[in-house]
Structure 1
């Protein structure tokens, strides 16, 4: 089939949704589909065999589009919509595969030509808007109505986690909803420069590691507070990878104020290809996230790393992790500190949890499992004789 893939974000950049888009586009092309990716003007140009990447050209000097909803993102989405209209009028597609809010662009394009609409549902958008802008809570009922409308009008909904699948099935029933979890980061670049993390600390101790952005919902403040409760009677070192330069600077200042200089290091951004080398050095992998329902992609990478995982007991984590493969704790500093104490003192338990997590990831969240799920989902909307229209010149 010919697929127009609407990706409303910078592409490619090393963060969750663009990585998931790259994975989906690669798999669709490997399965014989012809894919045009329409995306923002920002991001690294990458080659994907069988795919063509097209970019918008927004006015108003829009640069550095951030994660999540923003005015810059809304401006880019207007330009993305205009580009999508032109592309659908120009070329015949069997499928428009729309990520997140781009589903509304796909719906608006429907009068132009017949095609199947795939809603790639990576989050609960109304809930995210209300969390970012509390004043928008009054708009939750109409926003959820629009979400239900998009779900019902789509031919296929790909839900990134079970909680999102449940919301989609409430609106459309189970028939058109397929669960498509993310997979672990591909972080096996053996040429990447990886420093020795344990050498960064003056005193040897078990090493905890966090990888990801430093937005407030990620719970880094909670993790630091837990480390203040540990102190010397339960020694542990913490390395933090990721975050903007400004966020890293702010947290380094906080570490100094808390008197944790000898135990905590904020390293900033590191290449995605080097991630495997860092995870392999850790004893404990931390995800202190405070809220959310979509499982962060890094959790699958944590699982594949065969290291013990300490995570907060919220839907983001509990729909993938359980007591067999992780320590799940309430999102409080005291509970986080207790979880760390338990893992610090029990190496055998750490090894068992890591092995169980890796086995589960290999079975349910491998690239092969992802490809099989995506093929099954697309087969549900494929019509015999459809597709393979020639590209317009």
Structure 2
């Protein structure tokens, strides 16, 4: 049985004018049965150079896989989420406490404290705190989605580890009421939880993953998993979706991925074939989903009000209606914020030819309003 002894936290008191910097020292110390004298989570931090966005930088907390560390996650995602402040802690014994790992550390409490600390910095947007975890770190990301109630966490992304059965069983989400115990039913995840329904969720899994079974069932990590597509559907239901589970998705990109999108993209599952890893199309999708460098687009709103764009997705043209025969100017950007197409028109049914663009996600900007479009 894994028994938690006690927990304490040490962190600096912030003034309202203090900025998060790449050299900032965030010191969070926790004590439990394995470390009664306390363990200080190492933190790698990178803050973009240049002008701070009007509402502050978005932040992504990066959670490594079993055997990894914060530095490795930082190296992987610095060029992907280049306009985010990145914070990458390292877990005890280079792992996160989900069920069968060697670590029994109170990682959820550490993340809760870390989010609260980050929200106090004056150059950070307190309402755009993102969680991205890979493998074992995705297991922790899913626990955060289930258990954390801080509304400032607006996006959770789980890479190559979808919901396991301790986290979701008997038609509900659960957290452990005490310490996790591999010998207990569902590892001790026995406390029913209703996760916040306000945040977005992105799951990335691969149908040839040799570690986490895409179709669900027993895994080599010692936990049973839900089928990947069913796991995301259950999350979509919690976030307000009322329809049936999607049986087909939209294929895009090279390498190809398949997108299963619920609630206009608020909950998305991406299927690929990158084994227990990610390919370039999946990484590009993450960048677009997080609206990284959105300040480059001068986005005021992510909706087009009365303007309609269809068909979306498309393999050739899109039609823009609702502009009331006024002259409109449009720009299309890729996920890196680079302008790939622009023009103008006066018709109430403006047609834009996308046939020369690669198959991927783009952003259509009209009159400072932006909508995601997908070329297939």
Bin for the TM-score computed over the shorter chain: 0.3 to 0.5
TM-score with structure 1 setting the length: 0.34
What is the TM-score when the length of structure 2 is the normalising length?
A: 0.35
Q: Write 1 or 2 for the structure with the bigger share of strand.
A: 2
More helix by share: 1
Larger RCO (CA within 8 A; separation ≥ 6) = 1
